[in-house]
Structure 1
């Protein structure tokens, strides 16, 4: 598993910003389609609902196609609307560096179990050194 330094994570922010800039409108549309389709419940499928389901599936596939390469780099996508964790080590402790769409850089970290609500500011980037394990 790869552990990122703050510098390495920050080098990926332009890519993340660009990717999520493309993906976020698709995520919003998928959410709207899901609401419409859920409201229909078990009503008989019409040509319109079939088209909506196909659009939703197509958008989901596009989202997966955009986010898959980020996951292959070792990033954890916590929200398709732009929440990303980077595996890191703070001393000997495994933690996450945390980035959210709209942030100019990676400025927070949290414990593995804490999640977004447990984010803390990065006081010293040197506390997070990269490690490469096979």
Structure 2
């Protein structure tokens, strides 16, 4: 497992910002299509138009997966496709997450593995997070 120091995670923020600027419109459109398809399903519709929407939805999901895959290959956990990621980090010898959300200019929060976004805490001392050999 890869562990990030705060400085190392912050060096990735420009890439994260660019990636999610690209992906967020696709995510919005995929959500819209999903709602349309659900409504059509509720009406019992199954026609060429519905199939076209399903194909568009599937293509968007594949585009999103393809764009986010390199982040995952770097050891970054993508929590939501519209821009929430976690980085494994070591704090006091235990594994925690450094947390970044789209729109933030830096990684400024962390949380325990089991608390999620709701348990975010401000990073008071970036040096407390053990950097990896890459930092």
Length-normalised TM-score, structure 2: 0.94
| Residues 1:57 and 2:49 are matched in the alignment | no
Paired position in structure 1 for 2:110: 109
Gapped runs of 5+ residues in structure 2?
A: none
Report Cα offsets for 1:62-110 as digits up to 9, x if no partner.
0000001100100000000000000000011110000000000000000
**2:46 match:** 45
- Determine if the alignment matches structure 1 residue 79 to structure 2 residue 83: no
Mapped partners of 2:64, 2:83: distance in 1: 12
1:10 aligns with 2:10: yes
Separation in structure 1 between the aligned mates of residue 50 and residue 41 of structure 2, nearest angstrom: 11
Gaps of at least 5 residues in structure 1 are none
TM-score for the superposition, normalised by structure 1: 0.95
Q: Distance in 2 between matches of 1:51 and 1:82?
A: 27
Residues in 1 aligned to 2:78 and 2:52: alpha-carbon distance in whole angstroms: 28
- Over the aligned positions, Cα root-mean-square deviation in angstroms equals 1.0
Distance 1:14 1:88 in 2: 19
1:13-39 CA distance string (max 9 Å, x none): 000000000000000000010001011
Q: Distance in 1 between matches of 2:60 and 2:112?
A: 32
**Number of paired residues?**
132
Q: Which of structure 1's runs of 4+ aligned residues deviate more than 6 A?
A: none
